[in-house]
Amino acid sequence: MRAADRLPSRPAEAHALDVARAVVASCDPPPRRIVCTTAGRAQAAHALAGDLPTAHVTAWFLDRHPCDAAVASWSPAPPHLTAACTPDMPAGPYDLAVVPLAKDGEAELTRDILQQALVHLTVGGRLVTAIDNPRDRWLREQLAATGETVRVREAAGPKPRTIAYVVEKTREPSRVRDFSCEIVFRDRDRLLHAVTRPGVFAHRRIDPGARRLLDAVDVAPGAAVLDIGCGSGCVSIGIAARDPSVRVHAIDSAARAVECTRRGVERNALANVTVALEAEGRVPTPGAWDLALANPPYYSDFRLAEIFCETARLALAPGGTLIVVTKQPTWFVEQLPRMWSHVAREEVKGYHLIEAVRPG
Quickly count: other Cβ atoms within 10 Å of residue 72's Cβ: 10
Does residue 66 contact residue 39 with C-beta atoms inside 8 Å? no
Q: If we measure between CA atoms, which residue out of 68, 49, 60 comes closest to residue 84?
A: 60
How many Å apart are CA 192 and CA 180, to the nearest integer? 17
Q: Residue 5: its pLDDT value, please?
A: 47
For the chain, list the domains and their CATH numbers: 3-168 (3.40.50.150), 181-357 (3.40.50.150)
- In single-letter form, the type of residue at position 84 comes to A
- Dihedrals φ, ψ of 351, to 5°? -110, 155
How many Å apart are CA 274 and CA 289, to the nearest integer? 14
Rg (CA), the chain: 22
Q: Residue 76: its pLDDT value, please?
A: 84
Does residue 15 contact residue 101 with C-beta atoms inside 8 Å? no
Does residue 273 contact residue 237 with C-beta atoms inside 8 Å? yes
DSSP SS3 for 129: strand
Q: Residue 3: its pLDDT value, please?
A: 46
How many Å apart are CA 231 and CA 172, to the nearest integer? 33
- Dihedrals φ, ψ of 262, to 5°? -60, -40
Q: Cα 169 to the chain's mean position, in Å?
A: 27
Q: Residue 300: its pLDDT value, please?
A: 66
How many Å apart are CA 256 and CA 226, to the nearest integer? 19
Q: Residue 183: its pLDDT value, please?
A: 97
Quickly count: other Cβ atoms within 10 Å of residue 333's Cβ: 15
How many Å apart are CA 162 and CA 11, to the nearest integer? 7
Q: If we measure between CA atoms, which residue out of 129, 154, 162, 133 comes closest to residue 144?
A: 129
How many Å apart are CA 28 and CA 199, to the nearest integer? 36
Local structure of residue 280 (DSSP, 8 states):
S
E strands, 67-117, are: 81-85, 94-101
Tell me the helices (H) and strands (E) count for the chain, helix number first.
10, 16
Strands 181-187 and 190-196: antiparallel
Q: Residue 297: its pLDDT value, please?
A: 86
Q: Residue 95: its pLDDT value, please?
A: 98
Local structure of residue 336 (DSSP, 8 states):
G
Instruction: List the chain residues with pLDDT less than 50.
Output: 1-5
Q: Residue 144: its pLDDT value, please?
A: 98
* Cα diameter, the chain: 68
Q: Residue 306: its pLDDT value, please?
A: 94
